[in-house]
Structure 1
Amino acid sequence: MLVDSLVLANIHPSVLPAISGLNVVGQRQAAGIVETWSVAACISAADRAVKAANVTLVRVHMAFGIGGKCYMVVAGDIADVDNAVTVASDSAGEKGLLVHRAVIPRPHDALWQQLMEG
């Protein structure tokens, strides 16, 4: 059964590196996380988020083995991260595929390292 599908004609250049690994972030900043019920919804949400806000798309993680869920991590100034998370959440929410969202203004060093290193 097909849960979701996606065609992106003009994908943001940071999305593919975020899927295959990590986009590097230099200093600790605010972090935003959006979790979705499908990989397609997460990729679409990530694309919209980085086009709408001045953030770094750190990664898009496809969580194999737990029903096809996916999450994305963005980093940047708090206002930009909040905007990106809102845009991504709205994108996934339009299809009823939003699981959860979080904005962390000042992540603890250990959490920051975990988010940045995978």
Structure 2
Amino acid sequence: MATLSKLKELMSLPGAVAAGEFSDDGKLLAYYGDISEKAAEIAALMCAANKATGNMQVKGWSAYTGKDGFWPVQGFAVAAGKYAACIMGNVGVFVELDKADFDKTFETLSKYI
């Protein structure tokens, strides 16, 4: 489980607005940032759903192409509008697109998988 110090480390990343941890079924386990608990709960559901969808897609891709190495999904980013959700394992950080350093973000997130 991500500790508050880990979430605070994620919040120190360029452009970070919120960080959190979620269970595979989408339950919010912890969060830190300037968002409401309800928003964090919805974000946890969104992240778990995207991770599950990604795993379904890569399993299908591997079966179709015969190429291994895509499953399981380790991390992903979803970007829209002004923000991106960057996820590794079950920990993520929401960042402002115009301020984010994605290499640094995923390097930091990779510590938590």
Do these two structures clear the TM 0.5 threshold for a shared fold by scoring above it? no
- Of structures 1 and 2, the one scoring higher in RCO (CA 8 A, sep 6+) is 1
Q: Which of 1 and 2 has greater Rg? A: 2
Give TM-score scaled by structure 2 length: 0.30
